[in-house]
Amino acid sequence: MAKNRITTHLVCSECKERNYTQVVGKGRTIGTLKLKKFCSRCRKHHEHKETK
Ligand SMILES: [Zn+2]
């Protein structure tokens, strides 16, 4: 199968915990996405940044 998909992580901006993973298409720009999600380490909603 062709490798046209990559896995990215959503990292908590407070504690740097990788709380979420997602699979995206390869042509997409990584690192622009910011989402407010629940962090299991902080036990709070924090901004999560997309990284590889
Ligand atoms: Zn956190």
How far away, in angstroms, is 41 Cα from ligand 1 center? 5
Q: Does the reported pTM lie above 0.75?
A: yes
How far away, in angstroms, is 12 Cα from ligand 1 center? 5
Hey, is 50 helix, strand or coil? strand
Q: Would you state the pLDDT for residue 18?
A: 97
The predicted-structure confidence for 28-47, as pLDDT tens digits, reads as follows 888 889 999 999 999 999 99
How far away, in angstroms, is 4 Cα from ligand 1 center? 30
